Structure 1
Amino acid sequence: MAEIILEIDNIIKKFEEQEVIKNISLKINKGEFLTLLGPSGCGKTTTLRIIAGFESPTSGNVLLEGEHVENKQPHERNVNTVFQNYALFPHMNVSENIAYGLKIRRVNKIEIKKRVGEMLSLVQLEGYEKRKIEQLSGGQKQRVAIARALINNPKILLLDEPLGALDLQLRKQMQIELKRLQKKLQITFVYVTHDQEEALNMSDRIAVMNKGVIEQIGSPEDIYERPKTKFVAGFIGESNLIKTKIEKIDEEKITVEFGPNKISVNYKNYDSSKNKESYILIRPENIKYSKVKHQYSMKAIIKEHSYIGSIIKTTMELASNQEIKVSDYDKKKDLIGIGSEVWMYFESEDVVIVEEG
């Protein structure tokens, strides 16, 4: 059984009278990479700052290894934070920046030199000891910031959109390096981002936040394949959401009606009542189309084909004027012409029912 290292219990945070965190609870396991994912203004950074001690909760508890820390100052918690803007000291060189925390704690010089050397090796910056901060690239500055945070052996490393200032290529490279570091050190990472691909690539679990609440917590596969709400389905990856009517709920199946069709699908993550507005979710890669009618099919008109590297993306329109996205990895097949009438179809096992949220 996983050991819980951090627990957020019924946290509420208000700024003036506005409630930005709405009674959230979350348990984080020791050694896991957990990502707080959501759009700007959803409360993810405020949650991170409450864990770090930079903000105090209006109510609720924060427990680190079972100890209440919600009233402790940041330096009294064994957690460190890496920021998007690096927050490095420009008047110090690389080694001095990394060693700063140890000097504050008055660790002896021999130990500092040893630990700084270990950190430089860990983040692959050997030979950069005397380099000035202004002489470093964005990726190198980020490595220095990470080394400075890790040198104090924190129980938890908090990362607030740390790759946001990097270009796409470097960002992808740093994602791999961060995950490598986390697995090697077995330190708990709590990571904040609005980038869904980043979250899916790096995380053991993802907590999807929206308007101050956590809408769903799960593995990357759970979040993508089995979203619980319309928001999660729409925020993670491309999605096709078609409004549906719940006809019947059995022990293992739900029968839904959409357009001219009725389909029985597995429960998966759906746990709502019949009365709540619901949708069927079908990912673009799970939709096919042809001139021939299939089971669970609907008429559609081809509107556009787009070549995007490894896939062909097709947009089609249903009779209801709703646009449907299709992703096809078979680039060699003949495309049906723009304006043609086709049958859009899919398999029942690829359907997920989600609620309004």
Structure 2
Amino acid sequence: MSEIILELDNIIKKYENQEVIKNMSLTINKGEFLTLLGPSGCGKTTTLRIIAGFETPTSGSVLLEGSHVENKQPNERNVNTVFQNYALFPHMNVFDNIAYALKIRKVNKVEIKKRVSKMLSLVQLEGYEKRKTDQLSGGQKQRVAIGRALINNPQILLLDEPLGALDLKLRKQMQVELKKLQKKLQITFVYVTHDQDEALNMSDRIAVMNEGIIEQLGTPEDIYERPATKFVAGFIGESNLFNTKIKKIDEERISVQLGENKMNVNYKNYDNSKAKESYVLIRPENIKYSTSKPQFGLIAIIKEHSYIGSIIKTTMELESGQEIIVCDYDKKKDLIGIGSEVWMSFEPEDVVIVEEG
């Protein structure tokens, strides 16, 4: 059983009577990589600042290893933060930036040198000790910031969009390095981002936030394959959402009707009382199309083919006017011409039901 290291209990945060965090409860396990994911203004950075102690919740509790810390200052919590702008000291070299917290605590010079050397090795910056921060690349600056945050062995490392200022190639490289570092140190990481790919690639669990609440908490696979709400389905990856008739048949099956077409789907414990608030989700990679009529299908018109590296993305339009996205990983097959009429289909096991949210 996982050991809980941090608990947010019924957190509310108001600014001038506006609730930016709405009765949030969340538990974070020791040694896990948890990501707060959502659009700008959803409350994820405010949540991180409450954990760090830079913000005090209007109400609710923050418990670190079972002890209340909601009213404690940042330096009274064994939690460190890496900011998006890194917040390095420009007048100090790499060694002094990383050693700063130890010097404040008056650790002896021999111990400081030993621990900084170990940290430089850990973040792959050996030989950069005497460099000023303005002589470093973006990725190197980020490593210095991480080294400085880790030097005191915090229980939790908080990271507020630390890769946002990096170019795409370096960002992907740093994602891999950060995940390896977290696994090696077994320190709890709480990571804030609006980048869904970043969250899916790095996280043990993801909390998808929207307007101050957590819409869904789960593994990357859960969030992508089984989104709980329309918002999560639309925010994570590309989605085809159908507002359709759904009827419960029994505890194991539902009936889905799209236009004149009806199919029965294995779907446990569907709540029929929410039928008017539910949608059918089909991911683009799970849709097929051809000129031959399938057992279950909808007529569509090909609008566009786009080459996107490893996939061909096809946009088509249904008779209802709804646009559908299809992703195909077979780039060698012959593409059906623009303006052609095709049959769009999918397998019953690829149906996911999501609520309005």
Q: Which residue pairs with 2:313 in the alignment? A: 313
In 1: Cα distance, 2:308 partner to 2:203 partner = 26
Q: Which residue pairs with 1:146 in the alignment? A: 146
Q: Which residue pairs with 1:2 in the alignment? A: 2
Of stretches 215-224 and 326-335 in structure 1, the one that deviates more from structure 2 is 326-335
Q: CA deviation at 1:206?
A: 0.2
Q: CA deviation at 1:252?
A: 2.2
Q: Which residue pairs with 1:334 in the alignment? A: 334
In 1: Cα distance, 2:268 partner to 2:28 partner = 24
In 2: Cα distance, 1:270 partner to 1:115 partner = 55
In 1: Cα distance, 2:98 partner to 2:270 partner = 48
In 1: Cα distance, 2:296 partner to 2:28 partner = 41
Instruction: Give the letter for the 1:137 counterpart.
Output: S
Q: CA deviation at 1:265?
A: 2.6
Instruction: Give the letter for the 1:10 counterpart.
Output: N
In 2: Cα distance, 1:310 partner to 1:203 partner = 23
Of stretches 29-38 and 304-313 in structure 1, the one that deviates more from structure 2 is 304-313
Q: Which residue pairs with 1:27 in the alignment? A: 27
Query: Kindly, what percent of the aligned residue pairs are identical?
Result: 84
In 2: Cα distance, 1:249 partner to 1:123 partner = 56
TM-score normalised by the chain length of structure 1: 0.98
In 2: Cα distance, 1:212 partner to 1:270 partner = 27
Corresponding position: 1:90 with 2:85: no
Q: Which residue pairs with 1:40 in the alignment? A: 40
Task: Answer yes or no: is the 8 Å Cα contact 1:272–1:355 preserved in 2.
Answer: no
Task: Answer yes or no: is the 8 Å Cα contact 1:244–1:258 preserved in 2.
Answer: yes
Q: Which residue pairs with 2:343 in the alignment? A: 343
Task: Answer yes or no: is the 8 Å Cα contact 2:251–2:270 preserved in 1.
Answer: no
Q: Which residue pairs with 2:239 in the alignment? A: 239
Q: Which residue pairs with 1:223 in the alignment? A: 223
Q: CA deviation at 1:258?
A: 1.9
Secondary structure, in 3 states, of the residue corresponding to 1:54? coil
Q: CA deviation at 1:266?
A: 3.6
Task: Answer yes or no: is the 8 Å Cα contact 1:240–1:282 preserved in 2.
Answer: yes
In 1: Cα distance, 2:78 partner to 2:111 partner = 20
Instruction: Give the letter for the 2:99 counterpart.
Output: A
Instruction: Give the letter for the 1:143 counterpart.
Output: R
Instruction: Give the letter for the 1:231 counterpart.
Output: F
Secondary structure, in 3 states, of the residue corresponding to 1:92? coil
Alignment of 1:253-292 (within 5 A): 253-267=253-267, 273-292=273-292
Q: CA deviation at 1:334?
A: 1.1
Q: Which residue pairs with 1:134 in the alignment? A: 134
In 2: Cα distance, 1:91 partner to 1:317 partner = 59
Instruction: Give the letter for the 2:151 counterpart.
Output: I
Secondary structure, in 3 states, of the residue corresponding to 1:273? helix
Corresponding position: 1:103 with 2:80: no
Q: CA deviation at 1:264?
A: 2.6
In 1: Cα distance, 2:107 partner to 2:86 partner = 24
Q: CA deviation at 1:249?
A: 4.9
Q: Which residue pairs with 1:57 in the alignment? A: 57
In 2: Cα distance, 1:268 partner to 1:206 partner = 24
Q: Which runs of 5+ in 2 are unaligned?
A: none
TM-score normalised by the chain length of structure 2: 0.98
Q: CA deviation at 1:129?
A: 0.4
Secondary structure, in 3 states, of the residue corresponding to 2:274? coil
In 2: Cα distance, 1:136 partner to 1:271 partner = 56
Decide whether aligned partners of structure 1 residues 266 and 65 sit closer, same or farther in structure 2, where only a CA change above 3 A counts: farther
Q: Which runs of 5+ in 1 are unaligned?
A: none
Q: CA deviation at 1:255?
A: 1.9
Q: Which residue pairs with 1:79 in the alignment? A: 79
In 2: Cα distance, 1:151 partner to 1:248 partner = 56
In 2: Cα distance, 1:348 partner to 1:275 partner = 18
Task: Answer yes or no: is the 8 Å Cα contact 2:255–2:262 preserved in 1.
Answer: yes
Secondary structure, in 3 states, of the residue corresponding to 2:128? coil
Instruction: Give the letter for the 2:48 counterpart.
Output: L
Task: Answer yes or no: is the 8 Å Cα contact 1:10–1:60 preserved in 2.
Answer: yes
Q: CA deviation at 1:295?
A: 2.4
Of stretches 218-227 and 273-282 in structure 1, the one that deviates more from structure 2 is 273-282
Secondary structure, in 3 states, of the residue corresponding to 1:63? strand
Of stretches 221-230 and 293-302 in structure 1, the one that deviates more from structure 2 is 293-302
Q: CA deviation at 1:188?
A: 0.2
Q: CA deviation at 1:294?
A: 1.0
Deviation per residue, 1:25-47 (Å, 9 max, x gap)? 00000000000000000000000
Q: Which residue pairs with 2:207 in the alignment? A: 207
In 1: Cα distance, 2:160 partner to 2:118 partner = 24
Decide whether aligned partners of structure 1 residues 19 and 163 sit closer, same or farther in structure 2, where only a CA change above 3 A counts: same
Deviation per residue, 1:97-122 (Å, 9 max, x gap)? 00001111111111100000000000
In 1: Cα distance, 2:254 partner to 2:58 partner = 41
Instruction: Give the letter for the 1:51 counterpart.
Output: I
Instruction: Give the letter for the 1:225 counterpart.
Output: E
Task: Answer yes or no: is the 8 Å Cα contact 2:251–2:269 preserved in 1.
Answer: no
Q: CA deviation at 1:230?
A: 0.4
Provide the alpha-carbon RMSD of the alignment. Answer: 1.2
Secondary structure, in 3 states, of the residue corresponding to 2:238? coil
Deviation per residue, 1:132-175 (Å, 9 max, x gap)? 01100000000000000000000000000000000101100100
In 1: Cα distance, 2:321 partner to 2:269 partner = 28
Decide whether aligned partners of structure 1 residues 23 and 102 sit closer, same or farther in structure 2, where only a CA change above 3 A counts: same
Q: Which residue pairs with 2:69 in the alignment? A: 69
In 1: Cα distance, 2:231 partner to 2:205 partner = 18
In 2: Cα distance, 1:249 partner to 1:115 partner = 64
Decide whether aligned partners of structure 1 residues 41 and 330 sit closer, same or farther in structure 2, where only a CA change above 3 A counts: same
